[in-house]
Amino acid sequence: MNQERKVIVGMKHRVMVVALFAVITSPVCAAKLSGPPRILDGNTIELEKTKLRLSGIDAPETDQICLDARGRKWACGVAARDELIKHSNGRTWDCHTTGVDEYGRSRGSCFIEGENVNAWMVRSGWALSSGPYTYAIYELVASTAYAGLWSGAFIAPWDWRRRNKGTVIIGASSVPIDAQELLLGSALLSDPPSSECLIKGTVDRNGERIYHLPGQLGYEQIDMTKKSGERWLCSEAEAEATGWRKAAR
Is residue 52 classed as helix, strand or coil in its secondary structure?
Answer: strand
Report whether pLDDT(2) > 80. Answer: no
Residue 128 lies in a domain: yes
Answer whether residue 232 is part of any domain: no
With bands split at pLDDT 50, 70 and 90, how would you rate the model's confidence at 117? very high
With respect to residue 165, please indicate whether it lies within any of the assigned structural domains.
Answer: yes
Confidence of residue 236 (pLDDT cuts 50, 70, 90): very high
Residue 5: is its pLDDT beyond 80?
A: no
Local structure of residue 65 (DSSP, 8 states):
-
Is residue 213 domain-resident?
no
Would residue 217 count as lying in a domain?
A: no
Angle at the Cα of 99 from the Cα atoms of 93 and 138, rounded to 5 degrees: 55
CATH of the domain at 82: 2.40.50.90
pLDDT score for 38: 96
Give the phi and the psi of residue 47 in degrees, each rounded to 5. -140, 130
Q: How far is CA 194 from CA 129, 171, 203, in A?
A: 26, 23, 21
Q: Per the domain annotation, does 37 fall within a domain?
A: yes
The 10s digit of each residue's pLDDT in 149-181 is 999 999 999 999 888 888 999 998 888 888 988
Range of the domain at 114: 32-188
Confidence of residue 16 (pLDDT cuts 50, 70, 90): very low
Please state the pTM of the whole predicted model: 0.83
For 182-235, the pLDDT digits (tens) are 898 766 778 899 999 999 999 988 889 999 999 999 999 999 887 677 899 999
In a domain, 64, yes or no: yes
Are the CB atoms for 74 and 154 separated by under 8 Å? no
CA distances from 58 to 148, 198, 208, 210, 212 (A): 14, 23, 23, 23, 25
DSSP state of 60: P
User: b/e for 188-223, b at 16 or more Cβ within 10 A?
Assistant: bbeebbbeebebbbbeeeeeebebbeeebeeeeeee
State the average pLDDT for the chain: 86
Are residues 201 and 233 in contact, defined by beta-carbon separation less than 8 angstroms? yes
83 lies in some domain? yes
- Residue 29's pLDDT is 53
CB 189 within 8 A of CB 163: no
Total domains, the chain: 1
